[in-house]
């Protein structure tokens, strides 16, 4: 390691991300464990209500994951064999897997060069008579161009199911993502902006959610709380072959506390982003994340892009050098069309979606979470700058 590298090295490893859990969450979970309900019950119902109120959404359904929410939405819409759903290659595989799970065909559309969100022009070019829905992802927390996608949905009579795993609490033209009536799926995985360890939420119109609730719990007409709580009755009917996707009250206890802290968490995320932006703004080897004027970014990820022509090392070596300086990073994402299952099943090549592929080769995500101290942030900045000092062309 060079002298510069030694000077920029932390004494301990900084993970890419960690959950931000406090004593309030611990007390709420303990309260749940001491109560009569540890599975789906009063706290899950309260979390649904408070989450919907926060987003000003018409309704919310608490589920076991964002994947479960996406799958439930597709099933509730009746999408299945013979249908096509258009989505992005720049996403985690769960977004596309659920389309396969319902027997439909995932159709990929390339992304915009600046936001890395799905490109509405590419979506329109991909529409066929078999297209039933568009499934956009709000990449890194930057909302997609919803007006353009909604216009396509109206013209071609398509559903829109939003993957908002990164997008709490992002805004598009003043409205929080999830505040409309179409299905929107959120993730509460351990490193998300709000966590329930594992878990997710589906927002939509109440009529849609009433059907989705049945789909999400074995196809039963009544859930356990309605059957076993005081005044409940044992009788239920199975009206369709549903899934086991319910959120527990233990998870919801975490979510209720996290929701109260969300604005505080977001202030800290924005502070960290501002520090990164100031430090990296004039670096010719770096391309910073963008924020379009009509959106409020959720800043789930700080996705930095390297200008490889200005460096003597690859993206992968850049990540290794940061790890040598005890800085953890990640890559979001390996595009869907490069994974063996989708590559082989649909005959994709790297050039099938050139914008996604070329950006993937120079992407890395820096640590970004409310638990980072100012010293942590300084260490990340110094680590990145030190690698640049040692490997500029």
Contact 323, 317 (CB under 8 A): no
Q: For residue 3, is pLDDT > 70? A: no
The model's confidence at residue 4, banded by pLDDT at 50, 70 and 90, is: very low
Burial class (CB in 10 A: 0-12, 13-18, 19+), 19: middle
- Distance (Å, rounded) from C-alpha 345 to C-alpha 305? 30
- Residue 261 bears catalytic tag: no
For residue 358, the tally of other CB atoms under 10 A from its CB is 16
- Distance (Å, rounded) from C-alpha 246 to C-alpha 72? 11
Contact 32, 43 (CB under 8 A): yes
Contacts of 189 (CB under 8 A, 6+ apart): 65, 66, 165, 195, 197, 198, 199
CATH number of 261-391: 3.90.1150.10
Query: Is domain 23-259 given the CATH code 3.40.50.1950 in the classification?
Result: no
Specify the residue for token string 């799958």: 71
What pLDDT, on the 0 to 100 scale, is given for residue 1? 37
Catalytically annotated residue among 43, 75, 192, 244: 192
Mean pLDDT of 33-61: 97
Which helix (H) or strand (E) is 384 found in, with range? helix 374-391
Mean pLDDT of 148-160: 98
Domain 23-259 identical in fold to domain 261-391: no
Tens-place pLDDT, residues 182-212: 999 999 999 999 999 999 999 999 999 999 9
What pLDDT, on the 0 to 100 scale, is given for residue 222? 74
Which helix (H) or strand (E) is 311 found in, with range? none
Tens-place pLDDT, residues 229-276: 666 677 888 999 999 999 999 999 999 999 999 999 999 999 999 999
Provide the residue count of the chain: 393
What pLDDT, on the 0 to 100 scale, is given for residue 229? 63
- Distance (Å, rounded) from C-alpha 124 to C-alpha 127? 5
Domain layout of the chain by residue ranges: 23-259, 261-391
């Amino acid at each position: 390691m060079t002298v510069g590298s030694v000077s920029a090295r932390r004494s301990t490893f900084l993970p890419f991300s960690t959950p931000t859990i406090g004593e309030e969450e611990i007390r709420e979970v303990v309260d749940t464990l001491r109560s009569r309900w540890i599975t789906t019950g009063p706290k899950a119902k309260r979390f649904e209500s408070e989450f919907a109120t926060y987003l000003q959404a018409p309704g919310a359904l608490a589920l076991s994951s964002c994947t479960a929410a996406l799958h439930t939405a597709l099933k509730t819409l009746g999408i299945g064999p013979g249908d096509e759903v258009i989505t992005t290659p720049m996403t985690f595989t769960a977004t596309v897997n659920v389309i396969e799970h319902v027997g439909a065909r995932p159709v990929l559309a390339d992304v915009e060069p600046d936001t890395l969100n799905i490109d509405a022009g590419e979506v329109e070019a991909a529409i066929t008579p078999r297209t039933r829905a568009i499934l956009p992802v709000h990449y890194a927390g930057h909302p997609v161009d919803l007006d353009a996608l909604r216009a396509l949905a109206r013209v071609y009579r398509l559903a829109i199911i939003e993957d908002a795993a990164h997008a709490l609490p992002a805004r598009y033209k003043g409205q929080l993502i999830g505040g409309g009536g179409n299905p929107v799926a959120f993730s509460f995985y351990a490193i998300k902006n709000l966590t329930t360890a594992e878990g997710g939420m589906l927002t939509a119109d109440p009529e849609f959610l009433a059907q989705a609730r049945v789909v999400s719990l074995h196809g039963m007409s009544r859930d356990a709380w309605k059957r076993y709580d005081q005044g409940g009755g044992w009788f239920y009917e199975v009206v369709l072959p549903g899934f086991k996707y319910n959120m527990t009250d233990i998870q919801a206890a975490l979510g209720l506390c996290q929701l109260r802290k969300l604005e505080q968490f977001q202030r800290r995320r924005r502070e960290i982003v501002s520090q990164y932006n100031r430090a990296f703004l004039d670096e010719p080897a770096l391309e910073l994340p963008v924020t379009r004027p009509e959106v409020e970014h959720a800043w789930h990820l700080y996705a930095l892009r390297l200008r490889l022509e200005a460096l003597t090392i690859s993206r992968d070596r850049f990540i290794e050098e940061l790890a040598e300086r005890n800085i953890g990073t990640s890559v979001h994402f390996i595009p869907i069309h490069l994974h063996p299952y989708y590559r082989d099943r649909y005959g994709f090549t790297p050039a099938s979606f050139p914008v996604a592929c070329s950006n993937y080769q120079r992407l890395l995500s820096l640590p970004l979470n409310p638990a980072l101290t100012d010293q942590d942030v300084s260490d990340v900045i110094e680590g990145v700058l030190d690698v640049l000092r040692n490997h500029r062309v």
